[in-house]
Structure 1
Amino acid sequence: MPLHIAYGDPSALRARCEIATVRTTRPEETTYEAGAIIPAGRWRPMTEADVKAVTAPRRPLDSTLVEVVRPAYQEGRDLEDLTHPLGDPDAVYLGQALAEPDMTTTTDNYEDGRLIGLHLDNWDKLPYADKHTGRRRLCLNLGPGTRYVILGAIDAQAVCRAIHPNNHYHRYPHTQDYRDYVARGRPIRIIRIRLAPGEGCVAPTEYLLHGGSTEAQDRPSAAAFWLGTRGILPSLI
C-alpha cells in the first residue's frame, strides 16, 4: 500500500505539506553514506492530484496510516511516562535526538557519524509478507525550531518486489532495496510534513522510506520517539 495520510481538511493538509523527488548522493558528498537517498530539487506545493494520491481508503489499515497529531505533552514532563496519553499503554519510548539547523536529513550512522539519508526502519525485523503490520513510530517535535518528517510515497513491499522479482517473498525489505531502486533510475515521490514545536507525526517507518529534516530552518530541533500499534491522538488536519 502506498503512502496514505489521514486528514479532514484538504486545505490544512496542503498548507502543511510539500512535494519533491529523490536522488542518490554523489561521491563528493562525504557527509553521507555512499548511495544514500536524499531529496532532489525544490519542494513544491501539493496539487489536487497530490492530495488525492495520499487520501486513505474508507477503511484504512491503521499500521500503514500517517497521522499528524498534537500529543498532550507539557514541557518538563517525563517523556517515558507519556505512553498512556498517546493511546497505547504498550508503546515503547525510544529516546531523543537533536538536529542542528538547516540539515537536509538528520539521521546518522552512530558507528561512523555519516548521515544515512532517507531510510527504512527495522525495529520489528519483519519479512516481506508481514512488513505492512509493523508498529508505527511517533515523532514529537520538542523544539525550539520547526522540523519536517519526510515520507516516501512507495512502500517497502512494492520496492522489494521491483528489486527482487523472483525471490522477494523470502526477503526482509531493507533501506538498500530503496537505494538500489533509485540507483536504477526509478523515481520516488516524497512528501515533507511540517511540525512546529509540540506537534507530532505518527508514521509507518517500518514500511515507508522516511527521514527527519530541518532544511532552511535557523534553529535546532529536538525530537522524541515512540513505537506503538494504535493511538487516539487528536488530528491537526
Structure 2
Amino acid sequence: MPLHIAYGDPSALSGRCEVAAVRTTRPEETAYEPGALIPAGLWRPMTEPDIKAVTAPRGTIDSTLVEIVRPSYRQGLPLEDLPQPLGDPDAVHLGQALAKPGMTTTTDNYEDGRLIGLHLDNWDKLRFADKHTGRRRLCFNLGPGTRYIILGGIDAQAVCRAVHPDDHVHRYPHTQDYRDYVASGRPIRIIRIRLAPGEGYVAPTEYLLHDGSTEAQDQPSAAAFWLGHWPRGILPSLI
C-alpha cells in the first residue's frame, strides 16, 4: 500500500506538510553516496489531491500507517521506558541521533560518514511478501530545534515489483530498488512533515522511503527512536 497518513483534520495535516519530488544526487555532491536519492527542488504546499492521495482507506492495516503524535513523556523518567504503556512489551529502543541544523537529509553510512539519502530500513529483514508487516518506528523529537520526517509516496513492495518484474517474490526490498526506480526515469512524490520539539511520528520505515531533515532550521535536533508493533491510535494524534 502507498503512503497513508492517519488524520482527522485536513487543515491540520496540510498545515504541517509540504510536497516535492525526488532526484538522484550528482557526482559533485560528494557528501552523499553515489546514486543516493534526495528531495528535488523547492517544496510546495499540500493541495487537495495530495491530501486525498495520503488518506487511508477503510481497512488500512496498522503496520503500514503513518501517525503524527505527541508521545506521552514526563521529565525525569528514563527515556528508554517511553513506549512501555503502548502495547508492545518487545519494543526495542534504537537510541538517539543528533542532526545538525540545515541538513537536507540526516542519515549517514557509519562506515564512511557519507550521507545515504532517502532510504528503506531493514531491521526486520523481511521478504517481499511480508514487507508490509514490519515493525513501525516511533520517533520523539527531543529538540531543541524543529525537524522533519520525509516520506515517499510509493511503498517498497510496489517499487520492488516494478524494478524486478520477473523475480520480485524472491527478493528482499531494498534502498537500491528505489535508486534503480528513480534512475530509470520513474518519479516519486515525497512529503515532509514538520515536527516541533516534543512531537513525533509512528511510521513504517521498513516499508516507505524516508529520512529525517533539518533543512532551513537554525538549531540542531536530537531524536530518540524505537521499533515496535503498535496499534493505531495508541498515542494522541496531532492532526
Which TM bucket (shorter chain)? over 0.9
Greater than 6 Å deviation, 4+ residue runs: none
The code of the aligned residue for 2:221 comes to S
Q: Cα offset for 1:58? A: 1.7
1:205 has 2:205 as partner: yes
Unpaired runs of 5+ in structure 2?
none
Residue 45 of structure 2 is matched in structure 1 by 45
Output the aligned Cα RMSD.
0.9
Distance 1:72 1:113 in 2: 33
Residue 234 of structure 1 is matched in structure 2 by 236
Residue 176 of structure 2 is matched in structure 1 by 176
Residue by residue over 1:122-155, the C-alpha shift from the partner in whole angstroms, topping out at 9 and shown as x without a partner, is 0000000000000000111000000000000000
Residue by residue over 1:44-101, the C-alpha shift from the partner in whole angstroms, topping out at 9 and shown as x without a partner, is 0000010000000122100000000001113443111112133433211000000000
- SS of match in other structure, 1:201: strand
Given that 1:83 and 1:90 are in contact with CA atoms closer than 8 Å, whether structure 2 keeps it comes out as no
TM norm structure 2: 0.97
Residue 88 of structure 2 is matched in structure 1 by 88
Distance 1:86 1:16 in 2: 25
- SS of match in other structure, 2:85: coil
Given that 1:105 and 1:115 are in contact with CA atoms closer than 8 Å, whether structure 2 keeps it comes out as yes
| Percent identity over paired residues | 83
Residue pairs, 1:77-156, within 5 angstroms: 77-156=77-156
How many residue pairs align between the two structures?
237
TM norm structure 1: 0.98
Given that 1:87 and 1:233 are in contact with CA atoms closer than 8 Å, whether structure 2 keeps it comes out as no
Q: Which moved more, 1:84-93 or 1:58-67?
A: 84-93
Distance 1:8 1:105 in 2: 28
Unpaired runs of 5+ in structure 1?
none
Distance 1:115 1:42 in 2: 20
Given that 1:72 and 1:85 are in contact with CA atoms closer than 8 Å, whether structure 2 keeps it comes out as no
Q: Cα offset for 1:105? A: 0.1
Distance 1:91 1:58 in 2: 27
Residue 35 of structure 2 is matched in structure 1 by 35
Residue by residue over 1:23-55, the C-alpha shift from the partner in whole angstroms, topping out at 9 and shown as x without a partner, is 000000000000000000100000001000000
